[in-house]
């Protein structure tokens, strides 16, 4: 449904920054036109039957008199099918601390009950004055939303502010914004300028609808998101989400361990850029590299420790797995034990539960490894990451890896 923009604006002489200047277009009209370009809307100018005087002082005198006598100057035009509009952007200049009286006439001429009103005002210092109070008195059953007040002489430089306000009125959800601010304190996405509609949809989904669907904690969510982003090769988003993860107490050691372990599941060909991105981020935070050592095994005991890790994670049936299978593939099983489990899983920095969680994320996000995914789902469940927890994790990763890979993983979880 289209919105309606209704405004009154007085062109000709006006008071700007202490001087009287001739305006070709009224200040309020400039904003009304900008809003009109931003959203699907019809625009309507309130035109008084008798125009206000061209000269500033004559105009202020008449306006004052109209206010004092509570005049209702006639408006010459009417809005067709007013009842069809739900959302109305109402713009006016501040005249003697309230709305010009022709706007009062306008407000009394239509039924505003239940309508959503977004007021905007231009002024030279008094903001809305008492106009919101008057508005509430004149149309008591309308929903009057947060307004926008702009200095008249700044209307040409206020595009961003207007865009943001219009974005908010169009569904930029408060909760999504709050969460975004928690992840990236003080940062405004550039996409709000270039792709306001898209980013609003995305943020509302990712940072309100999903976040508030369950109680998965921020720390775990961000570990999973980093691992999923490596799994799906989302390097630019990974760089952005490292900052958020850091805000939610994912430590530098944990970030590094996620990347290192990913190498066993994605190969260095796919992990290399993530390693560099993580290093760049940590250095930008003043953290010196290398980080402290986390290895718990050495060349001599990695096979034995890896074997033990497999037993601890998958169960006693895994004992001696590295010696099993046909001779021609045994060396690969051996490497799985001494390298993947002996070198990576045994490291400090992440416990088995979190290591299995990130493996679940690597496998889910890269797709096409459902066989391995299913056995790691079993391992996750053994370690306490039960089915409902894994479903929660998958739900939170949908915006980052999309629906199809999520649904494939979901099937594996449900079958487990
Ligand atoms: C009759 C009149 C009364 C005004 N009274 C106020 C006022 O009380 N407070 C204020 O900040 N600006 C006041 N102004 C300045 C206007 O609000 C400001 O210039 C506004 O941007 C004009 O918008 P327009 O060009 O769309 O008419 C007044 C201007 C006029 C013409």
- Per-residue pLDDT of 316-363, as tens digits, reads 999 999 999 999 999 999 999 999 999 999 999 999 999 999 999 999
Q: How far is CA 97 from CA 44, 93, 170, 190, 208, in A?
A: 23, 9, 28, 36, 38
Q: Would the CB of 95 count as within 6 Å of ligand 1?
A: yes
Ligand 1 center–CA 14 separation, angstroms:
7
Concatenated DSSP letters of 324-349: -S-HHHHHHHHHIIIIIIIIIITSSS
* 3-class secondary-structure state, position 87: strand
Give the separation between CA 119 and CA 142, rounded to whole angstroms: 12
- Is the pTM value of this prediction over 0.85? no
Mean pLDDT of 177-193: 88
Mutate which of 5, 6, 15 for ligand 1? The one with the most ligand atoms within 8 Å of its CB, which is 15
Q: Which helix (H) or strand (E) holds 7?
A: strand 3-7
Give ranges for CATH 1.20.1290.10 in the chain.
Answer: 214-294+347-415
CATH 1.20.1290.10 at 214-294+347-415, yes or no: yes
Residues spanned by CATH 3.40.50.360 within the chain? 3-169
Tens-place pLDDT, residues 187-245: 888 887 788 789 888 998 999 899 989 999 999 999 999 999 999 999 999 999 999 99
Instruction: Name the closest-CA residue to atom 29, ligand 1.
Output: 95
At 171 the pLDDT is 67
- Whether 96 lines ligand 1, by a CB cut-off of 6 Å, is yes
Q: Tokens representing 86? A: 């739900």
CA of 99 to the centre of ligand 1 (A): 10
Q: Tell me the CA–centroid distance for residue 406 and ligand 1, in Å.
A: 56
Work out the angle at residue 107's Cα, subtended by the Cα atoms of residues 129 and 152, and round it to the nearest 5 degrees: 40
Q: Residues 113-155: pLDDT tens digits?
A: 999 999 999 999 999 999 999 999 999 999 999 999 999 999 9
The rounded distance, in Å, linking the Cα atoms of 185 and 217 is 18
Question: In the structure, what pLDDT confidence band is assigned to residue 17 with cuts at 50, 70 and 90?
Answer: confident
d(CA 336, CA 85): 65
Q: Is the CB of 131 under 6 A from ligand 1?
A: no
> What CATH code is assigned to 3-169?
3.40.50.360
Centroid of ligand 1 to alpha carbon of 294 (angstroms): 67
Q: How far apart are the first and last CA of the chain?
A: 46
CA–CA gap between residue 102 and residue 66 (Å, rounded): 9
Q: Which bin fits 186, alpha (ψ -120 to 50), beta or left (φ > 0)?
A: left
Cα Rg, the chain, nearest whole Å: 31
Q: In a 10 Å sphere around its CB, with 0-12 CB exposed, 13-18 middle and 19+ buried, how is residue 71 labelled?
A: middle
Residue nearest to atom 31 of ligand 1 (CA): 60
Residue 397 is predicted with a pLDDT of 93
Structural element, H or E, at residue 321 = none
Q: Which residues neighbour 267 within 8 Å (Cβ) at sequence distance 6 or greater?
A: none
Q: Compute, in angstroms, the gap from residue 33 CA to the centroid of ligand 1.
A: 18
Please say whether the beta carbons of 306 and 340 come within 8 A.
yes
**Spatial separation of the C-alpha atoms in residues 96 and 70, rounded to whole Å:** 13
**Contact 125 CB / ligand 1 (< 6 Å):** yes
Tokens of 333: 């099983």
Q: Which residues contact 331 (CB under 8 A, 6 or more apart)?
A: none
Report in angstroms the alpha-carbon separations of 83 from 5, 7, 43, 243, 402. Answer: 14, 17, 15, 48, 40
């Amino acid at each position: 449904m289209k919105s309606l923009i209704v405004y009154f604006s007085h062109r000709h002489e006006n008071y700007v920054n202490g001087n009287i200047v001739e305006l070709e277009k009224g200040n309020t009209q400039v904003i009304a036109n900008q809003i009109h370009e931003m959203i699907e809307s019809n625009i309507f100018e309130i035109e008084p039957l008798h125009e206000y005087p061209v000269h500033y002082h004559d105009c202020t005198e008449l306006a004052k008199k109209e206010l004092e006598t509570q005049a209702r100057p006639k408006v010459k035009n009417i809005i067709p099918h007013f009842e069809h509009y739900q959302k109305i952007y109402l713009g006016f200049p501040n005249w003697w601390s309230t709305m010009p009286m022709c706007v009062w006439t306008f407000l009394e001429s239509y039924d505003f009950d239940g309508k959503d009103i977004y007021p905007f005002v231009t002024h030279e210092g008094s903001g809305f004055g008492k106009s919101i109070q008057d508005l509430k008195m004149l149309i008591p059953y309308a929903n009057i939303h947060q307004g926008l007040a702009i200095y008249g002489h700044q209307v040409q430089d206020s595009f961003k502010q207007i865009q943001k306000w219009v974005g908010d009125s169009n569904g930029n959800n408060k909760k999504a914004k709050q969460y975004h601010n928690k992840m990236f304190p003080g940062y405004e996405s550039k996409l709000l300028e270039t792709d306001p509609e898209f980013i609003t949809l995305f943020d509302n989904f990712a940072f309100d609808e999903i976040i508030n669907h369950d109680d998965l904690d921020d720390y775990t969510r961000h570990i999973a998101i980093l691992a999923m982003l490596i799994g799906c090769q989302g390097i630019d988003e990974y760089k952005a989400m490292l900052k958020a993860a850091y805000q939610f107490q994912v430590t530098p050691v944990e970030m590094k361990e996620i990347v290192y372990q990913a190498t066993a599941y994605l190969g260095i060909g796919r992990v290399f850029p993530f390693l560099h991105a993580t290093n760049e981020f940590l250095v930008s935070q003043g953290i010196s590299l290398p980080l402290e050592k986390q290895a718990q095994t050495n060349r001599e005991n990695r096979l034995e420790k890896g074997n033990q890790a497999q037993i601890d994670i998958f169960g006693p049936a895994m004992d001696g797995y590295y010696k099993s299978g046909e001779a021609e593939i045994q060396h690969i099983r051996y490497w799985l034990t001494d390298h993947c489990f002996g070198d990576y899983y045994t490291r400090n920095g992440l416990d088995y539960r979190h290591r299995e969680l990130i493996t679940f994320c690597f496998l889910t996000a890269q797709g096409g490894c459902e066989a391995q995914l299913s056995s790691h789902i079993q391992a996750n469940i053994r370690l306490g990451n039960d089915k409902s927890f894994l479903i929660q994790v998958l739900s939170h990763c949908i915006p980052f890896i999309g629906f199809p890979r999520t649904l494939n993983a979901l099937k594996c979880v449900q079958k487990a």
